[in-house]
Amino acid sequence: MKVLLIGSGGREHALAAALKRDPLLEELHVAPGNPGISEIAICHATNTDDNAAVIALAESLTIDLVVIGPEKPLVQGLSDDLRKAGFAVFGPSQAAAQIEGSKDFAKGVMRDAGVPTARSFTCINQDEIEKALDTFGAPFVVKHDGLAAGKGVVVTDDRAAALEHALLSPRVVIEEFLDGPEVSLFGISDGKNILAMQPAQDFKRAFDGDLGPNTGGMGAYSPLPWAHDDIVEETLEQVLKPTIAEMAARGTPFVGLLYAGLALTTKGTRVIEFNARFGDPETEVLLPRLQTPLAQLLLKAATRDLKDHPPLIWSAESAVTVVLASEGYPTAPKIGEPIMGLNPVDGSDIFHAGTTLDGSVLKSAGGRVLAVTGMGADLTEARDKAYRVISGITLHGSHYRSDIALNASIAEKGN
What is the contact surface with ligand AMP in residues (CB under 6 A)?
118, 141, 143, 153, 155, 175, 177-178, 182, 204, 261, 272-273
Nearest distance in Å: CB 176, ligand AMP: 6
Is there binding between residue 275 and ligand GLY (CB under 6 A)? Answer: yes
Contact 31, 6 (CB under 8 A): yes
Nearest distance in Å: CB 177, ligand AMP: 4
Q: CA angle, 38 as apex, 37 and 41 as ends, to 5°?
A: 80
Task: Choose the one of ligand GLY, ligand AMP, none that binds residue 260, judging by a C-beta under 5 to 8 angstroms depending on kind.
Answer: none
Q: Residues in contact with ligand GLY, total (CB under 6 A)?
A: 6
The correct pick among 64, 175, 190, 282 for binding ligand GLY (CB under 6 A) is 282
Is there binding between residue 280 and ligand GLY (CB under 6 A)? Answer: yes
How many whole angstroms separate alpha carbon 78 and alpha carbon 55?
9
- Strands 394-395, 339-340: pairing is antiparallel
For 306-359, give the secondary structure using H, E and C: CCCCCCCCECCCEEEEEEEECCCCCCCCCCCCEEECCCCCCCEEEEECCEEEEC
- Strands 211-214, 120-123: pairing is unpaired
Looking at residue 45, its amino acid is: A
Task: Choose the one of ligand GLY, ligand AMP, none that binds residue 280, judging by a C-beta under 5 to 8 angstroms depending on kind.
Answer: ligand GLY
Is there binding between residue 12 and ligand GLY (CB under 6 A)? Answer: no
Nearest distance in Å: CB 286, ligand GLY: 11
Q: Which residue is nearest to ligand AMP (CB)?
A: 273
Contact 25, 370 (CB under 8 A): no
**169 versus 356: smaller Cβ distance to ligand AMP:** 169
Measuring CA to CA, which residue among 113, 408, 143 is closest to residue 258? Answer: 113
SS3 content of the chain, % helix, strand, coil (to 5): 30, 30, 40
**154 versus 290: smaller Cβ distance to ligand AMP:** 154
Is there binding between residue 279 and ligand GLY (CB under 6 A)? Answer: yes
Nearest distance in Å: CB 261, ligand AMP: 5
**217 versus 330: smaller Cβ distance to ligand GLY:** 217
- Containing H/E element for 162? helix 159-166
Is there binding between residue 354 and ligand GLY (CB under 6 A)? Answer: no
E-strand stretches of 216-290 = 219-222, 255-265, 268-275
**122 versus 215: smaller Cβ distance to ligand GLY:** 215
Task: Choose the one of ligand AMP, ligand GLY, none that binds residue 279, judging by a C-beta under 5 to 8 angstroms depending on kind.
Answer: ligand GLY
How remote is the C-alpha of 371 from its chain's centroid? 13
How many whole angstroms separate alpha carbon 386 and alpha carbon 371?
9
Nearest distance in Å: CB 400, ligand AMP: 19
Is there binding between residue 222 and ligand GLY (CB under 6 A)? Answer: no
Is there binding between residue 145 and ligand GLY (CB under 6 A)? Answer: no
Task: Choose the one of ligand GLY, ligand AMP, none that binds residue 272, judging by a C-beta under 5 to 8 angstroms depending on kind.
Answer: ligand AMP
Q: Which residues sit opposite 245 in a β-bridge?
A: none
The correct pick among 33, 36, 191, 217 for binding ligand GLY (CB under 6 A) is 217
- Binding residues (CB under 6 A) for ligand GLY: these are 202, 217, 275, 279-280, 282
